[in-house]
Chain A
Amino acid sequence: MENWREIGATLARNKTRTFLTAFGIFWGTAMLAMLWGGAHGLEGTLRRNFSGFSTNLGAIFPGETSVPYKGFNKGMHWSMTQNDVDVIRRITPDLEYSTTICQNYGTINYGTKSTSAQITGYEPDFSKILIPVVYSGRVFNSSDEAGSRKVALIGKNLAEKLFGTEDPIGKFVSAQGVYFMVVGVIGQTSMASIGGRYDDSLLIPSSTFRRAYNWGNQVNFFMYTVSPGLSPSDLKTQIRRAICMNHPISPDDDKAMWFMDISEEFKMIDNLFLGVSLLALFVGAGSLMAGIIGIGNIMWIIVKERTQEIGIRRAIGAKPRDIIVQILSEGVVLTSIAGLAGVCFATLVLAVVDSQTADPVLGSAGFTLTFSQAIGIVLTFLVLGTAAGTLPAIKAMRIKPIEAMRDK
C-alpha cells in the first residue's frame, strides 16, 4: 500500500513522460497482438476457402494413350469402368475414402419449373472427401448405392430455383426424364471443388446414375483420399497397375491417364502460411524489441533524472533494495497497465475485423487471440521490460549517495 502511493506519486510527477512511455508499451503490445491475431485470421481466411475439402485428395482421369500397345495404335481413348475401380480398391490398401464419379448435364424438372444443372453420381464416401453442408435431410448411405435407389441430394441454389420456399425433402424431381426422390439439401463451404459445386448440382448414387442413363459400368473418374502419413501420389503405381490389367495400355505410358494430387497445392499454401507467420514473427519481434528498448530507455532516463533524489533517499536510510524495488515497480506498474490496455485494444480491433470478415456460411476467419497468447504478450513485455529496467537501477546503486546528491 505504502509502495503504491510512492509509485503513484512518482508516475504522476512527470505526466507527459509517463504517458509517452505508457503509449510506447501500449503500442508495442497492441502491434504484437494485432500481428499475431492478424496472421491467424489471414490464415483462417485462406483456409476457410478449403474447409470441407480434404487436403490428401487425389483423383485419376482417363485419357488418351501415347504409346502403341498390344496392337492398339497410340491416341486411343479409353474409359474408366467400375471394374477398374474394383481392382484399384482390391490392390490398394492405403485408400482412405474413394468414390467413382459419373457426370452429366441436363434438364431438371419439378412440377412446372424447369432448369438445367449438373447431374452427378457419387458413391456415399463422397461426403467424407468433399464434406458437404447438410441444410436438411441426409446424405447417401451404402444401401442407396447398393440398391441403386432413385434418391437425390439437391444443391441449395438448385433447390431455391425449383422449390422456392417449399421444402424439397420427399418431393420428386425429374432429371433427364428419370424421377428421383429428394432426400437432402446440401451445399459446400469450400471455394474449391472437383466435379462442380454441390450448391448447383443434383447428386444421385453412382450406381443409380449408370443404370438410369445406360452407362453400363462406365464411370467418368475416380477420386480418393489416402491414409494419414501418405501422399496421394504414393498410390500412383498401384492404380496404374490396376488400370493396365483391364485395358490395353502400356505400363510405360505416362500420358494415358491424368493424376491429380491436391496435397501438392496445399503444400504450397502451407508454405505461404509459414511465410506469413514468419513475417508476423519477424515484425512482431521487432516491435517487441522496440518496446523493450523503449522501456529500458525510459528507465534509464528515470534513473538518470533522479540520481539526486536517489542519493537523498539513500542518505536518509533507503536500502539499495528499496530503491531498486521502487524503480522496478514503477516500470512493472506502467508495463502492466499499458500492456493490458494494448492487448485489450488489439482484441477490440481484431474483434471488429473478425466480425467484418465473418462469412454467413463459412463463419469466422479467426482474427482472434487466445487468452494465453494475450497474457503471454503482456508477460513477455513485463519480464523483458523489468530486465531492461534492472540494469540502470543497479547502475544507480554504484553511485555513492554523496556523489549522487551532488548531481544536478
Chain B
Amino acid sequence: MIIRLKDINKTYPGVVPLHVLKDINLDIERGELVAIMGASGSGKSTLLNILGILDNYDSGEYFLDGVLIKDLSENRAAELRNRMIGFVFQSFNLISYKNAVENVALPLFYQGVSRRKRNMLAMEQLERMGLADRAHHLPGELSGGQKQRVAIARSLITNPSIILADEPTGALDSTTSHDVMNLFRELNAEGMTIVIVTHDPGVGAATNRIIRISDGRIVPDEPVIAEQPQIIV
C-alpha cells in the first residue's frame, strides 16, 4: 500500500466554514495508475494537495509509503516532498530563466547533489523523454508537450514513490494530451505509481482506476476498464 487515507477530514475556516473533505478513506497500491475525477469544487484539488504534502488535514491519518504524514514541520514536509513525490502540473511550472537540464536537475539541488552529477542524471531523464536535443533550451523555446515532458522528467529525477499529476493535459491539445497520457502509461508499465487529478473523462479513461469525488466524499468505486490487468512490481 503506497497511499493509505483513513477518515481524512478537511475544513477551510471562515465565516462559513467549508467542509471540503468528509471522511475520505482511500488506498492506492504500489504500481497503480489512478485518476481522481470530480467537478470543480468537489474537493479533488484539496485531496491532491494533501496527498502531495502541500496542505494539511484536520483529522484522520495519511500514510505515504508507510510514513505517517501528519503535523509535519515545513522542513520535514519539504524533505518528504523532495524525496517521495514527483509533481506534474497543468501549467508545467518550470522556472523560466533556467534551461531544461537545470529545471530537471533542480530537485537534486535541494538534496545537495553536486552540479555535475545532477546535470548528468537530468540528461539521462531528458534522453528518456526524447528531449536530449532540447536540453539547453529555455522553457519559452519549447512547445507545450515538450514542456510537460520536461516537467515529467523533473518529477522522475528523485526516483519518487509516487507521481502526482494535477490536470497534466489541461493546457495541451488533444494529440499532445494523448502522447503525455501514453508516456504516463509507459512509466506506469515500468512500475511507477501515478495519481492524476483531472476532470477530463478521456484522461480518466486512459487510467486503470477512477476515483470519483463529489461534494467532499468519495463516490463508491466503479471500475471503468474492468478487465485491464494491473501491473504489480
Chain A residues at the B interface, C-beta cutoff of 8 Å: 2, 5-6, 9-10, 13, 308-309, 311-322, 397, 400-402, 405
Q: Which residues of the partner chain A approach B154 to less than 8 Å between Cβ atoms?
A: 316
Does A402 contact B93, Cβ atoms closer than 8 Å? no
Q: With A2-B115, A314-B78, A401-B54 as given contacts, are A319 and B110 in contact (CB-CB < 8 Å)?
A: yes
CA distance A158 to B154 in the complex (A): 90
Q: B48 — nearest CB in chain A belongs to which residue?
A: A402
CA distance A320 to B109 in the complex (A): 14
Which one of A2, A5, A321 has the highest number of Cβ atoms from chain B below 10 Å of its Cβ?
A2
Does B97 contact A13, Cβ atoms closer than 8 Å? yes
Q: With A9-B97, A405-B93 as given contacts, are A316 and B54 in contact (CB-CB < 8 Å)?
A: no
Find residues 75-124 in chain B having any chain A CB closer than 8 Å to their own CB: 75, 78-79, 81-83, 87, 89, 91, 93-95, 97-98, 106-107, 109-111, 115
CA distance A317 to B113 in the complex (A): 13
Q: A12 — nearest CB in chain B belongs to which residue?
A: B97
Q: With A317-B110, A320-B75 as given contacts, are A5 and B93 in contact (CB-CB < 8 Å)?
A: no
A50 to chain B, nearest CB (A): 61
| Further 12 A-B residue pairs, CB within 8 A, beyond A5-B115, A313-B95 | A2-B109, A2-B115, A6-B109, A312-B93, A312-B95, A315-B87, A315-B93, A317-B83, A319-B74, A322-B110, A397-B74, A405-B91
Does A319 contact B78, Cβ atoms closer than 8 Å? yes
Q: Which residues of the partner chain B approach A402 to less than 8 Å between Cβ atoms?
A: 49, 52, 54-55
Q: Which of A2, A312, A317 contacts B78 (CB 8 A)?
A: A317
Q: Which residues of the partner chain A approach B87 to less than 8 Å between Cβ atoms?
A: 315-316
The contact sample of 26 A-B pairs, CB cut-off 8 A, is: A2-B115, A9-B98, A10-B97, A13-B97, A308-B93, A312-B95, A313-B110, A314-B78, A315-B93, A316-B87, A316-B154, A317-B78, A317-B81, A317-B107, A317-B111, A317-B158, A318-B78, A318-B110, A319-B79, A320-B75, A321-B75, A322-B110, A397-B74, A402-B49, A402-B55, A405-B91
Q: Which residues of the partner chain A approach B54 to less than 8 Å between Cβ atoms?
A: 315, 400-402
Q: With A5-B115, A402-B49 as given contacts, are A316 and B55 in contact (CB-CB < 8 Å)?
A: no
